[in-house]
Chain A
């Protein structure tokens, strides 16, 4: 089994679409999913790195397992449903405390899923400007969570974590609206996060280098470099 270099965790209330988001990203498909039991994870090869993405169960029954899944996480995707205001509130009430076990430099993203139900532009997989709205079916449901609300929650999360707003990633960048059904913004979400956690991977690798295990390859390179500076 490949050892993951870094961990990303999907959190959020039941039925917001965590499994579907992961499925859309890994399988490029949208299909009916059943309620996740316990949790599942997927190993993503990102360049030379292995990223494990944990899909957690939103059901109350499995709530207690959340802290364990978050332990040592480099990124947490807090997911809500844009058509359900309560799902955003739950993030703050129930799920935020689970992330206490994550790494101190953990990155947080707020993701409003099911955007295809409320936004015309999300009915196409990519933000295609110029596509005629007439060709799209009407938006049936009322959007309950404006993006500004999610951004405000993001700011509160930073405060909860005791992080400085100025030196942290801006809410503008870390609040996404996605659709697992159409694929809208899904790749952007995961790829943005992977790029952001890379420094965390590199740091972890460096920590491992000073571990008592001697890496002969690394040693040879280091001594070669030293050789140059000496002569």
Chain B
């Protein structure tokens, strides 16, 4: 299960660093703000200014500007570089000697100017990032020398370098890290923690440093990350206790660092990224000739033997959304909750609530109702977000609009269930239970009417026994809506038999017929028995409110024919005159002209009607037809021009030259080109032919195709 947590961005390309010289390798790096120092095996320190550039599309890149390089004159590789920024010096290890150079000029600081005595016979050193000395202009350093079984602690001041402690170790130390008074050491056969102030020590675990290069990496206050047998990354604190479960690396990991909540490890061909929250491998990036991985003030910098890269973390919110898009709710929640300490409290709470709600909707879509309910509850979901998924449940008067960006991808319940009526029913039952639960809590403050009305409608529709209980108890149901409020008449579904012959409930009967899609009968009642033309029109609008335009047209034609029939058959038991229906028909046409199919209407209208009478209707009909015609012409024109534009672009792309040289790198594998045959991706981006082939082979769509072809 992968997630895109980081992006590898080139920082200093090979050409800028060593040009065509083949034997030059990067040995060490140091980054301090925008200043990047690179030490190479030809005894040179290179100084770059690294500018972060964000493109208009939000893509990050780095622009390296070479400021200076300096030959140290020792003919040996520059083994280590550390900045002491308060002192404006670089601590350099070269040829077994530690000395200081100026951060700007890269000139060796002479002893007279505070350069201090050189420390000789050094095999390795580290800086204390949690110093015990309060002086900000003092750098504490742990040093390994060729002197057997000792570690030395030095303080580097502006004007002197001072040995403050020498501690002996049970075996020869080969790697070290320092935090406060705690030295974390890799010895020949084991790791240990040593307090150089008290002399107390704690064995950690055995490790054969001859088989594998040990890793001792301080990752936080009194916590270290160590390479353990079996390719493990083990955590240990200063007390010698592991507070996190180990991560499972490859056997060949050479460097590791932490960028919360991830552990990044580098071996010769890959960068692997594990989560510290669930110990799972989250991302793997291919990286040839991996050599160095270090974090500088939160910035992850990598180097191959020839070039420098930055590993840029993607925003946490985006990682979480990616996980949610893949429906990986557990991981998304773990990542969110794990980020608590890295995000300001108020922002975290908003984020956390939103993620909980999104998770709830994903589980709702999978019909995992108990989990969904729990997450809706914890995320304090505005219930109307849920109600609005069910068509027609929110009262027409509700002011609710769904939040943006949306919490889920569903348009409504019908889309979610994809026609499966059983699913719809399960969802409705869940909503009933959920609304029953929340209606008396403060979650529904400010939308009590919406909630109670929705519940009432659901009860009525499901013939639920609690219907009367709800109506007779304290409630906020909106019963006022006339026709559109289906709930009012739906109440009578419960006593269907009674209503059939009841003359006082004509309106309700009409609505009932409407609900059963017997629009014909409904309109007959409304027009002939109630003579409520206004309601008849409203009925057509309501009954077609969630349908397409042809459905609405059908209803209006039906109403028109009821009017016209009433006129011609003279069917009027309440003494309605034919003229009354005529007028209703004319009013209907003139008011809703755009809904009708004008040609069809003209065919059925009585010959005797004057043109003047229908003037508004005809005007609208002609206008609508013109409008439709012109709109389609515009559409055609736009499509034509887009087509031309694309043709133009294509020709332009074809004309472009692409320069391929041995110095250029393939964007897929970052290796250089050795042969002239390359494949050009749009951009134009030249890449190796085999890289493209591999990419196509490994792409999910291709795999899908391969699978399907297997079946046929």
Contact = CB atoms under 8 A, between A and B. Distances in A.
B240 interface: yes
A157 interface: no
Contact of A37 (B232, B240, B242): B232
A38 B228 contact: yes
Given A61-B230, A68-B205, A38 B239 contact: no
A52 to B, nearest CB: 8
Given A37-B248, A41-B245, A68 B240 contact: yes
Contacts of A38: 228, 230, 232, 234, 245-248
A69 interface: yes
A20 B239 CA distance: 30
Interface in B223-269: 228-230, 232, 234, 236, 239-242, 245-248
Interface in A45-73: 54, 59, 61-62, 64-65, 67-69, 71-72
B258 to A, nearest CB: 14
> Which one of B206, B230, B234, B236 has the greatest number of beta carbons of chain A within 10 Å?
B230
B230 A62 contact: yes
A71 B204 CA distance: 10
Contacts of A37: 230, 232, 246, 248
Contacts of A59: 230
A125 interface: no
Contacts of A40: 245, 279
Contacts of B232: 37-38, 62, 65
19 contacts: A1-B338, A37-B230, A37-B232, A37-B246, A38-B230, A38-B245, A38-B246, A40-B279, A41-B245, A64-B205, A64-B228, A64-B229, A65-B228, A65-B229, A65-B234, A65-B246, A69-B242, A71-B239, A72-B241
Contacts of B205: 64-65, 67-68
Contacts of B246: 37-39, 65
Nearest to B203: A67
Interface residues of A, number: 18
Contacts of A68: 204-205, 234, 236, 240-242
Interface string A56-98: 0001011011011101100000000000000000000000000
Contacts of A101: 240
A40 B274 CA distance: 14
Contacts of A1: 338, 341
A61 B229 contact: yes
A190 to B, nearest CB: 19
A59 to B, nearest CB: 8
A40 B236 CA distance: 14
Nearest to B228: A65
A112 B585 CA distance: 89
Interface size class of B (residues with CB under 8 A): 20 to 34
B248 to A, nearest CB: 5
Contacts of A72: 239, 241
Contacts of A71: 239-241
Interface centre among B203, B206, B246 (most CB of A within 10 A): B246
A78 B515 CA distance: 69
A39 B205 CA distance: 14
Contacts of B207: 64
Contacts of A65: 205, 228-229, 232, 234, 242, 246
A39 B242 CA distance: 10
Contacts of B247: 38
Contacts of B239: 71-72
A227 to B, nearest CB: 34
A101 B338 CA distance: 30
Contacts of A54: 245
Given A38-B245, A39-B245, A40-B245, 15 more contacts: A37-B246, A38-B232, A38-B234, A39-B242, A59-B230, A61-B229, A62-B228, A62-B229, A62-B230, A64-B205, A65-B228, A65-B232, A67-B203, A71-B240, A101-B240
Interface string B186-222: 0000000000000000011111000000000000000
A98 to B, nearest CB: 11
Nearest to B337: A1
Nearest to A55: B245
Contacts of A62: 228-230, 232
Nearest to B245: A40
The 7 closest A-B pairs by CB, nearest first: A38-B246, A64-B206, A38-B232, A64-B205, A40-B245, A61-B230, A37-B248
A101 B228 CA distance: 19
A59 B232 CA distance: 13
A41 B279 CA distance: 10
A38 to B, nearest CB: 4
Nearest to A3: B243
B181 to A, nearest CB: 17
A91 to B, nearest CB: 20
Interface in A142-183: none
B281 to A, nearest CB: 11
A18 to B, nearest CB: 14
A85 B644 CA distance: 82
B498 to A, nearest CB: 52
A73 to B, nearest CB: 10
Nearest to B204: A68
Contacts of B234: 38, 65, 68
B22 to A, nearest CB: 40
A68 B279 CA distance: 18
Contacts of B338: 1
A65 B203 CA distance: 11
